[in-house]
Amino acid sequence: MRRIVLPSLAVLLWLAWSSIALAELCPKCRGKAYIANIGKCTSCGGHTTSGAFRLCRKCSREQGKCEHCLAMLVTTEKEPAEDKVAEKKPDAPEPIDPSKSGKYTFGKWEYRLTVRVAGTAREGRTGALLFDGKELHPGDHGNYYETPWGPMMWLPPRESLRGDSGWMLLPPGKKPQGAKMPPPGEKPPGTELTQADNGKTVKLAVGKPLVIRLPGNPTTGYSWRTAKITGEAVAAAGDPKYQVDAHAPGMVGVGGTFTFTFNAAKQGKAVINLEYVRPWEKGVAPIKTFSATVEVTAQ
């Protein structure tokens, strides 16, 4: 009988000491020795793992207090809640898969890729690039933007379905062919005007450019041209340029943007007048006009 009692007592003592070892104790109380008996919790009346403890393990964890001295326990930071994890914004965009159509967004950037007859010799791709909900226009062939996915270069629309057109992501190691476009939302050096600025007065320093962008559609026969520049403070910097909007191959009647560039030549004032006309029609009033007064200063 004695041989049975002794091992059983040893097991009970080991279980009691194990419970104490697992107790929620502060650093000051953690290194102390405690009698392996059962006490009463001062909070809920339940059993503690030692007669020296004032709280049971459950109340200790709920209150965040040491089972022995009731000191506040230092706990590690809990895992963020699921809703907070969902709110965390990614620090990198989803990689673009050039083999299939898709829509990609990152912050204010958006990229739409359309892939036609994928995996065949007639495969073609068209890319549209937007910033803050507005489609971006490149100006000339080969111009590019630095995007969250890497440099994207503009390729003009194609007549056939085959090949790439629109905004295309440059393969690693390949250099863009054109000029780097200023970051969207930032105006280039100088001043940039749109249709909404019709009739406004702007100030410009000598040597700075003035860019005017106006929507139009040459397929209707109409185009923008310079009607008159009053004053010598500004001068035209080359002929106006036209860039068609991104569109599916074969689509006709698509409009685009006319871009005029002027330079601030010297101090003074000048008035720029533009008109939207059919060039071959003589004596016919323009259907649209645009004007801007430019005050050129030394700095």
The residue ranges of every structural domain in the chain are: 2-63, 82-186, 191-297
Q: How many CB atoms lie within 10 A of CB 47?
A: 12
Q: How would you classify the pairing of strands 209-216 and 191-193?
A: parallel
27-36, 86-95, 142-151, 239-248: least confident range: 86-95
- At 79, is the pLDDT very low, low, confident or very high (cuts 50, 70, 90)? very low
Residue 171's pLDDT is 80
Residue 246: DSSP 8-state: P
- At 210, is the pLDDT very low, low, confident or very high (cuts 50, 70, 90)? very high
pTM: 0.46
The residue with greater pLDDT, 94 or 17, is: 94
Tell me how far CA of residue 52 lies from CA of 28, 29, 41, 68, 132, in angstroms.
14, 11, 10, 7, 65
Q: What would the CATH number be for the domain defined by 191-297?
A: 2.60.40.2020
Q: What is the mean pLDDT of residues 238-243?
A: 89
Percentage of the chain modeled with pLDDT above 90: 35
Residue 11's pLDDT is 45
Cβ pair 23, 53 in contact under 8 A: yes
Order across the sheet with 223-230: list the strands.
201-205, 288-297, 268-277, 223-230
Q: Give residue-wise pLDDT tens across range 45-73.
A: 888 888 888 888 888 888 888 888 888 88
Residue 188's pLDDT is 55
Q: Rounded to 10 degrees, what is the CA torsion of 249, 250, 253, 259?
A: 40
Residue 22's pLDDT is 65
